[in-house]
Structure 1
Amino acid sequence: MTVKRLCGIPGFSIDRVASAAGNDPEILRLENLDTDIAPPHGVIEASKNAITNDDANSYLPFTGNLALCSAVANHLHKQTRIVYDPLKEVVITCGGTEGMFDTLLAITDPEDEVILTDPTYAGMINRVRLAGAIPKFVPFQLVDGQWRLDLDILQARVTDRTRALFIMNPSMPSGALLNMQEWQQIAKICIERDIWLIYNAAMERIIYDNRPYIHPASLPGMAEHTITVGSVSKEYRMIGWRVGWVTGPAAIIKDISLVHIYNVVTPTGLSQTAACCALQAPNSDLLAAVNEWERRRDEIVEQLAGLPIISAAGGWSMLLNVKELGYSSLEASDLLLKHGKVAATPMCDWGEKNSDQFIRLVFSNEPVKRLSDIVNGKLKYRVLSQ
């Protein structure tokens, strides 16, 4: 018998597609958020050295070693100009995903409401449900070929039961990037209604076409309302290290740290030195990676010209509207794998209004040379143009 907290929570479709793709080298792997770009210089060596470091093989300190907490505080200071206390306003977690769940457990009670964008990462939606809260969706809409947040619906969604806005920027899976007007409206709501912004910053600097970077905590009055959840997984290409962090006002970080301790006890000791090394990498390291991901995005958009593809403003993925081509997301995903040798994830559980009409194309893990053969690789011709 399924317990109530799991009712309505589907499994991930990503692993189903990956399993069906197997190890066929001809298949373009556009289904999972992996990347073939190496971590920053020094990370591998730091990881090797940690194996023989006795301090790295310890439960203590429960909320992360001081060197990494200080590196995170310094990183956030560069992004926001806010001074964070590494001892009281930073907690290190086992990836950003643990940090998101810890935060939800610390700020919501059952039946509280949390506002998310539509679409958004299914892991965010279902962590809200696992925490016992209720997700409420605000749709992105296409305006001049770009995703824009419906600010009227955003305002209408906020009620006395709203405890947080839970925002990823750039957003996954759409690649949407909030502009200043959208952030200002979010800030206005958080301040006037005294609610939290949980800011999923996993991809915050993976931005294309010279668009501006905005950290919401830097907006007037938002430092005391913003809980930032970050990690080394995306910007630093360190998915397997499982190191994340949560930063924010000391009082709420104390509560989040308590949840963290009774959730996992301690962050991954063997990875913290490497994460500290990554956070000290020069900006040129990230810029080189972003430039390469942008080239890959551009290649897919060019190859699929004439199809309803919505170019990503940031992040590692973008959406193709398969409903306009006569398919559901599951049908399109299955056909692409079977006939086109392309693994792509159906978005049927990643939103409310923006959901089953899309498949996600991840462009972070395939080189331009392979992506340039998408059309000849039958994505366009053999499947979606039938």
Structure 2
Amino acid sequence: MGNAADALGDPSILRLENLDTDIPPPAAALRATREAVGADNANSYLPFLGQHALRRAAVARISADTGVSLDPERNCIVSAGGLSGVLNTLLAILEPGDEVIITDPAYAGLLNRIRLAGGVPKLVPLTIVDGGWRLDLEALARARGPRTRAVLTMSPSMPSGIVHTREEWEAICTLVRESDAWLVHDAAMERILYTRQGVLHPLQFEGMAECTVTVGSVSKEYRMIGWRVGWIVGPERVMNDIGLVSLTNVVCQVGIAMPGAAAALTDPDDGVEEAVATWRGRRDLILDELADLPVVRPDGGWSLLLDTQAMGIAPERASALLLERGGIAATAMTGWGEKDQAGRFLRFVFANEPVERLVGLRERLRRAWGT
């Protein structure tokens, strides 16, 4: 869909298909990156597990959120983006046929990384309650089995925007502990919240410090997608294995990008609060425009889902018609879960279009679908 919209070269097309944002990164990150371009120590394979300043900043961020004491050298390595960190973690902990519990809908990139690592995704459906998403706790319990090796979480999640409640986290953590499994937590969006609930992290729950691996990145909260910098934080007993996988898989990170990432993490004026307010405004406008349609409210993140199947339009067809007749690029959730669950939905990313351009979205849908 991104390629199709690019090929048209029409600036009036609403780009709601790709997880980009038009809000710039922190100024301190830009300055540090420009300085790093000319620095010899940023043009190196070393240190293999990431620059020390960034490792210190990453564990300081997680420790501040969770109260768990972490050592930057023993508990953290830097990855070439968050998804690289997820894949390297899965490669380190999974054997062929091991099962990984994950929600449905889920990012197709996460599902496919489970498969690349030899694992089997065990999908737990999200349900719609009071217009928003909730985790089906009974289905979560049923998903547990003798081959359960990990639960892969993301909150807020992409594409749904679910933000797990304390009750849901308790259920997830209990399952992990009782299964002697790993919790792999993708924390890429954890501060992009549209509720009054603060950040809930699995390390805040009893007994999770020895079985939780947190993968973060600067791509979303700090609007630094092109830097490709993330971090993996976990108990010492698994970090050597993850480090060996990282060396074999990617060798090292983007040297000139790590100083900018460290600057973002340590900048008190990081712009996250202001960016979240802007994204919330865009989300709210879309929810208002589509109030008469089966849209599901996201409580965080950058995207929301519309059940076009309930409207009698297959998402793939809805997507094609939107681009052709409505001037909107949006992505069908084919392959983002089961066909009768995630496969019902069309995704709208609201992080990259200002509210002035989003006004009139409902009329564009009416023009495309005749509804």
Indicate whether 1:358 and 2:340 are aligned.
Answer: no
2:76 is matched with: 90
2:13 is matched with: 27
Secondary structure at 1:209 match in 2: coil
Gaps of 5+ in 2: none
Whole-Å separation in 2 of the counterparts to 1:193 and 1:234: 32
Are the counterparts in 2 of residues 89 and 249 from structure 1 also a CA contact under 8 Å? yes
Q: How does 1:305-344 map to 2 (within 5 A)?
A: 305-344=291-330
Are the counterparts in 2 of residues 146 and 311 from structure 1 also a CA contact under 8 Å? yes
Q: Deviations over 1:304-336 (max 9, x none)?
A: 120111111000000001011111110000000
The number of residues matched between the two structures is 370
1:73 is matched with: 59
Whole-Å separation in 2 of the counterparts to 1:176 and 1:17: 29
The offset of 1:148, in angstroms, is 0.6
The offset of 1:284, in angstroms, is 6.5
Indicate whether 1:384 and 2:369 are aligned.
Answer: yes
User: One-letter code of the match for 2:116?
Assistant: L
User: One-letter code of the match for 1:35?
Assistant: T
Indicate whether 1:198 and 2:160 are aligned.
Answer: no
User: One-letter code of the match for 1:369?
Assistant: E
User: One-letter code of the match for 1:384?
Assistant: W
Indicate whether 1:218 and 2:199 are aligned.
Answer: no
Are the counterparts in 2 of residues 17 and 344 from structure 1 also a CA contact under 8 Å? no
Please provide the CA RMSD for this pair. Answer: 1.2
Are the counterparts in 1 of residues 53 and 262 from structure 2 also a CA contact under 8 Å? yes
Secondary structure at 1:42 match in 2: helix
The alignment's TM-score, normalised by the length of structure 2, stands at 0.97
Query: Residue 384 and residue 213 in structure 1: after superposition, are their counterparts in 2 closer, same or farther (change >3 A)?
Result: farther
Q: How does 1:157-306 map to 2 (within 5 A)?
A: 157-282=143-268, 285-306=271-292
Secondary structure at 1:269 match in 2: coil
Are the counterparts in 2 of residues 121 and 173 from structure 1 also a CA contact under 8 Å? yes
Instruction: State which of 45, 53, 57 in structure 2 corresponds to 1:59.
Output: 45
What percent of counterpart residues are identical? Answer: 48
Indicate whether 1:110 and 2:126 are aligned.
Answer: no
Whole-Å separation in 2 of the counterparts to 1:155 and 1:283: 42
The offset of 1:275, in angstroms, is 0.3
1:7 is matched with: none
User: One-letter code of the match for 1:358?
Assistant: F
Whole-Å separation in 1 of the counterparts to 2:195 and 2:75: 33
Secondary structure at 2:47 match in 1: coil
1:3 is matched with: none
Whole-Å separation in 1 of the counterparts to 2:45 and 2:106: 34
Which deviates further from its counterpart, 211-220 or 278-287? Answer: 278-287
Are the counterparts in 2 of residues 317 and 363 from structure 1 also a CA contact under 8 Å? yes
The offset of 1:132, in angstroms, is 1.1
Query: Residue 343 and residue 109 in structure 1: after superposition, are their counterparts in 2 closer, same or farther (change >3 A)?
Result: same
Instruction: State which of 18, 27, 37 in structure 2 corresponds to 1:41.
Output: 27
Gaps of 5+ in 1: 1-13
Are the counterparts in 1 of residues 133 and 297 from structure 2 also a CA contact under 8 Å? no
The alignment's TM-score, normalised by the length of structure 1, stands at 0.94
